[in-house]
Chains A and B, each alone.
Chain A
Amino acid sequence: MSRQSVRRGSWETGFAAVAAALLALTACGGSSGTPGGTKTYTIAFISQGTSNSWAAQLDAVASKAAKADGVKLVYFNGQGDATKQLPEIDTAIAQKPDAIVLVPLGGAADTGPVERAMSQGIKVVLCDSTITSQNYTSLVTPHAETAAVPLAQWLADKMNHQGNLLYIGGLPGNTTTITYDQGFNSVMQKYPSIHIINAGNANYSISTAKQLAATAIASGKTFTGAWGVGGEAVTGLMQALIDAKVNPAPPIGGAAATNGILRLAIQNKMEVASLQFPPTSSQVCIDTAYKAAKGETVPKSINISDLPQYGPILPPLDKYYKPQFSDDMYVGTDSVLTVDELKALNLVK
C-alpha cells in the first residue's frame, strides 16, 4: 500500500468515525425529553430557502414561531429550486422528525416524498403551496377567491371591462402561481372585450419582469391595464412603465405588496391594487405542525386569506406605506416581527 493510499485510508477511517457519530446523534434526534419530562417536538422546516427576501422573511417568522412554541426547528434549504429541494425533503424524512413543514417548490415533484413521509407516520404541513395529492396532514395557503379575485375585479372595473391587459406571469408549475392565475382568469373570462397580452413568465424575478414588460410596452400597443403574478412581477412592470415614461400609467393589479411597490406607486402617482400577503404564513404552519405532532386534530385546509394581516390593498396607498422600512419588506410583516427583528433582517432603513 502506498503512502498516499495509507493517508487516504486514514481519511476514510476518520470520515467513517465522524459519520458514525453523526448517525448516532441522528438516532437520538426526533422528539426528545427534557429534564422536567416535557417532550420537545422536532419539526423539520423545508423552506423555499435562500432565494429572495420573501423566503428570508418567511424563515425568520418560522424561527420565531418555533421558539414561541418551544419546538426544535431543523432547517432545510430548498435554495429556491424544486430540484434542489427534493433531496432536502428526503434528508429531512431520514431524520424522522415529529412533523415536517414544507414550502413546496414543485407541486408534482414534491408529491412522492410527501407521501413517503406520511407513510412513515410523519405529519406534513404544506405551507403556501400544495402538491398534486391530498395525502398530507394540513395545507396552509391563501384561496384564489379571497386573494386574486378582488384585485382582478378592481382591475377589470378600472379598465371599464375593455382594452389590452399586459400580463406578466409567475413561475410555471408553482401552485401559488396557479392559484393566482385561477382567481385572475375567473374574473377576466367574464369580460371578452379585455384582451390579455401575455408577455411571458418572470419566474418571480424583477429583472426578467422588467425586460418582458419593457419589450411589450415598446411594441406600441396601448395598455389599459396590467397584471403581475407576485411582487417581483409587479415591481418589474412598474419600473418598466416608469422608465418608458408611460404617462398616465395604466392601473396595475397583482399579488403580494412590498413597501417598494407602495413607494414606486406613490412617488410616480400610479394606481396599484395589491394584496397584503406577508410571508407570515410560516407562523400558522409551525403552530399547525406543532399541534399535529402533539396528536391534536388539525384542519385539512387553512385559508390564511381570512387572517387579519391579509387582504386587498387598494388606492390610496399612503396609509399602508412605511418609509422607515426598506423596499423589501412585505406589507404586514411588521405585524408579526418586532422592529429589532426587522432590523436584524436589513428591513429597517
Chain B
Amino acid sequence: MKPLDRTEARSQLSTFAAPPNQGGREPRNVSGSSSPRNPVRTAGVVRLAYESVASTLLRLPPTVRGYGLPIGTSLLVAAVVAVVEPGFYRPANLHVVMQQYAVLGLVTLGQVLVLLVSGIDLSVGAVMNAALITIALMNHYNENLLLVSLVLCILIGAGVGVTNGLLVSLRDVPPFAATLGMTACVQGAILVYTKGIPAGNIPTALRPIALDGIGIVPYSLLICLAIGLVVIVFLSRGSYGRTIYAVGRSAEVARRVGISTTAVRVSAYTLCGVFAALAGIILSAYVGYVDPAIGGTYNLQSIAAAVVGGVSFIGGEGKPAGALIGALFLLTVLNVTTLSSLNPFTQLIVQGVVMLVAVSLFHLIKRGSFA
C-alpha cells in the first residue's frame, strides 16, 4: 500500500463517512457506529478508524514522525502494560525480561543485518543449539576448557554464516533454502555426534553472564546493548552501513558502483551467525541445563521482532534500533500474557492480535520515519 497524502486521506475518509445508497435500505446510522448485523459497515468503520490514524500521523512533521512516534508508542505501550499488568514493573520481573531480552536482542540484531541485504536466516536456532552442545560436550571432557569452547562456538557461528553467505551470493541459492538447508546440516551433525543424547552439563563458571549483573541489569544485557550500539553506529555513520543498505535496495546498482555484493552479503550472514552463537552462549548460561533444542523458537521470533521494528523483508529498509524496540515489544507481550495467567490458548490469540496491531501501527510509523 502506497503512502496516502492528505488529499487522498481526506477523500477516502469522506468515501467511508458517506457510503452510497445501493439498495434503497440505507442503514439509519450514518455517524460511524456499527451494527453487529452489518459486517460490511463494521469493516468500513474499522477502515475509517485506521485511515483516521493514518491521516493524523501523516500530518505530523517528519522529525516528530521519525523519533517522537517510536518513543511515544513505546510510552503508550508502557502505560497500557502498567494498567493491564502492573506486576510487569516489579524489579524481579524486569530482571527476567532483561535476561531474556539479551538473547532475543542479539539474535534480532543479526537477523536485521541479513534482512537488510534482502536475505533471511533460518539457521540461527540451529547455531544456538550447536553452541550449547559444544559448551556441554567440551565441559564433559575437560572442565577447564570453557574459554576454548566459547571461541569454538563463535567460530561455528561464523562458519555457518560464511557458508550461508557464499551459498546465497555465489551459488544464487535462495536465502530461505540455503539457511533451511544449513539448519538441517547443523542439526544433523549434532545428532550424529550426540546420537540424540548430549552428554555433559553447562559449566557453573558460565552462568554469571546471564544470572549476575549490576543491580538488576544482567551482564548479558550489557553485552547485547554494547553490540547493538556498535551495529547502530556502523549502519548509520560508516561506509559499511551504506553498502549494506545499497546492496539491499538494489544489488545490481550496488555492483555497478563498485560495491562487492558478495563480500557485503557474506559479512552480514557471518555477523548473523556470530551473534546467534553469542546468543546461544548466553541462553545456555541462563537455562543452565543441556537442552539440545534450546534455539527452537528464535528463528521466527527474531524475524518477527525485526519486522515489528520496521525492517523490510525486501531489503535495504529498516534500522537496528527499530528492531531492538521490536524485540522489546515482542518480549513484553509474551511476558505480560504469561503474567496474566490466561489460558495458554487464549494467550496465543492475545499475542497474535497484539502483534498484528503492532505491525500495522509500525507500518504507519515507518511511512514517515524509515522511508
Chain A residues with a Cβ under 8 A of chain B: 50-53, 55-57, 59, 169, 172, 197-201, 203, 205-208, 210-212, 214-220, 232, 235-236, 239, 242-244, 260, 326-328, 344-347, 349
5 cross-chain CB contacts under 8 A: A57-B197, A172-B344, A216-B339, A219-B87, A239-B287
B33 within 8 A of A: no
> For residue A327, which residues in chain B have a CB less than 8 angstroms away from its CB?
201, 289-290
Instruction: Decide yes or no whether B263 CB sits under 8 A from chain A.
Output: no
Residues in B with CB closer than 8 Å to A203 are 296
* B96 in contact with A218 (CB, 8 Å): yes
Q: Knowing A55-B196, A56-B196, say if A239 contacts B288 (CB, 8 Å).
A: yes
Bound-complex Cα distance A50 to B198 (A)? 12
Please state if A212 and B338 are interface contacts (CB–CB under 8 Å): yes
Q: A199-B341, A218-B96 are in contact. Are A53 and B289 (CB under 8 A)?
A: no
Residues from chain B with a CB closer than 8 A to the CB of A205 are 291, 293-294, 296
A232 touches B291 (CB 8 A): yes
The answer to whether B198 and A328 touch across the interface, beta carbons within 8 angstroms, is yes
**A207 proximity list for chain B (CB < 8 A):** 283, 287, 291, 293-294, 296
Cβ-based interface call for B90 (8 A): yes
On chain A, the residues within 8 Å of B343 by CB distance are: 198
A210 to B297, CA, bound (A): 14
- Among residues of B, the one whose C-beta sits closest to the C-beta of A197 is B341
Chain A: minimal CB distance from B187 (Å)? 8
| B347 contacts partner chain A, Cβ-Cβ < 8 Å | yes
A344 to B196 Cα, complex, angstroms = 11
Residue B151 at the chain A interface, CB threshold 8 Å = no
Residues B341 and A198 in contact, CB atoms below 8 Å apart: yes
B195 within 8 A of A: yes
> Count of A-B contacts with CB under 8 A?
110
Cα separation A1 to B342 with both chains bound (whole Å): 65
B93–A346 contact, CB under 8 A? Answer: no
Is the CB–CB distance between B195 and A243 below 8 Å? no
Q: What distance in Å separates the Cβ of B293 from its nearest Cβ neighbour in chain A?
A: 6
Least CB distance, B254 to chain A, in whole angstroms = 30
Chain A residue, CB-CB nearest to B194: A346
A346 touches B195 (CB 8 A): yes
Given contacts A205-B294, A207-B283, A207-B296, 8 further A-B contacts (CB under 8 A): A198-B344, A199-B341, A200-B338, A218-B96, A219-B87, A260-B289, A328-B290, A345-B197
Inter-chain CA distance A220–B88, complex, in Å, is 10
**CB-nearest residue of chain A to B294:** A207
**B335 within 8 A of partner (CB):** yes
Question: B296 touches which one: A59, A208, A346 (CB < 8 A)?
Answer: A208
B196–A53 CB distance below 8 A: yes
Contact-residue size bin, chain B (C-beta under 8 Å from the other chain): 35 or more
Is B95 located at the chain interface by the 8 A CB criterion? yes
The distance in angstroms between the C-alpha atoms of A218 and B97, with both chains bound, is 10
With a CB–CB cut-off of 8 A, which chain B residues contact A50?
191, 196
Q: Is B199 close to A, CB under 8 A?
A: yes
- Residues in B with CB closer than 8 Å to A260 are 289
Cβ contact of B90, chosen from A220, A242, A347, cutoff 8 A: A220
Separation of A169 and B341 alpha carbons in the complex (Å)? 12
Contacts of B96 in A (CB 8 A): 214-215, 218
Residues of B within 8 A of A220 (CB): 87, 90, 92-93
Q: Assess the A326–B211 pair: CB atoms within 8 A.
A: no
Query: In the complex, are the beta carbons of B197 and A51 less than 8 A apart?
Result: no
Contact status B335-A198, CB under 8 Å: no
Question: Smallest Cβ distance from A55 to chain B, in angstroms?
Answer: 7
A198–B342 contact, CB under 8 A? Answer: yes
| A215 vs B297: C-alpha distance when bound (angstroms) | 17
Q: Which B residues between 322 and 353 are near A, CB-CB below 8 angstroms?
A: 335, 337-339, 341-345, 347
B292 at the interface (CB under 8 A from A): yes
Closest CB-CB distance, B93 to chain A, in whole Å? 4
Cα of A11 to Cα of B92 in the assembled complex, Å:
63
Does B289 lie within 8 Å of A344, measured CB to CB? no
Distance to closest chain A CB from B27 (angstroms)? 41
B275 within 8 A of A: no
Q: Are A239 and B289 closer than 8 Å at their CB atoms?
A: yes
- Which residue of the partner chain, among A172, A215, A232, A244, contacts B345 with CB atoms under 8 Å? A172
Within the assembled complex, what's the spacing in Å between the Cα atoms of A50 and B297?
17
What is the distance, in angstroms, from B333's C-beta to the closest C-beta of chain A? 12
Is the CB of B134 closer than 8 A to any CB of chain A? Answer: no
B16 at the interface (CB under 8 A from A): no
Per-residue interface assignment for chain B, residues 180 to 216, with 1 indicating a CB less than 8 Å from any chain A CB and 0 otherwise: 0000000000010011111101000000000100000
Chain B residues with Cβ below 8 Å from A345 are 195-197
Q: Which residues 257-299 in B have Cβ within 8 Å of A in the complex?
A: 283, 286-294, 296-297
Which single residue of chain B is at the shortest CB-CB distance from A199? B338
Please give, as numbers and ranges, the residues of chain A lying within 8 Å of B196 by CB-CB distance.
50-53, 55-56, 59, 345
With the chains together, A1 CA to B292 CA distance in Å?
Answer: 51
Bound CA span A51–B338, Å = 26
CB neighbours (8 Å) of B347 from chain A are 200
Cα–Cα, bound, A117→B342 (Å): 40
Which of B201, B288, B338 interacts with A243 by CB under 8 Å? B288
Q: Which residues of B contact A208 (CB under 8 A)?
A: 296-297
Q: B100 within 8 Å of A by Cβ?
A: yes
Top 8 closest pairs, chain A to chain B, by CB: A56-B196, A206-B291, A218-B93, A218-B92, A53-B197, A218-B96, A215-B338, A346-B199
Contact between chains at B197 and A347 (CB < 8 Å): yes
Using A53-B197, A219-B87 as known contacts, say yes or no to A206 and B287 having CB atoms under 8 A apart. Answer: yes
Q: Are B289 and A326 in contact (CB under 8 A)?
A: no
| Most interface-central of B290, B293, B337, B342 (chain A CB within 10 A) | B293
Most buried by A among B337, B338, B347: B338
> Which residues of chain B have C-beta atoms less than 8 A from A243's C-beta?
211, 288
B91's closest neighbor in chain A, by CB?
A: A218
* In the complex, chain A residues whose CB is within 8 Å of the CB of B335: 215
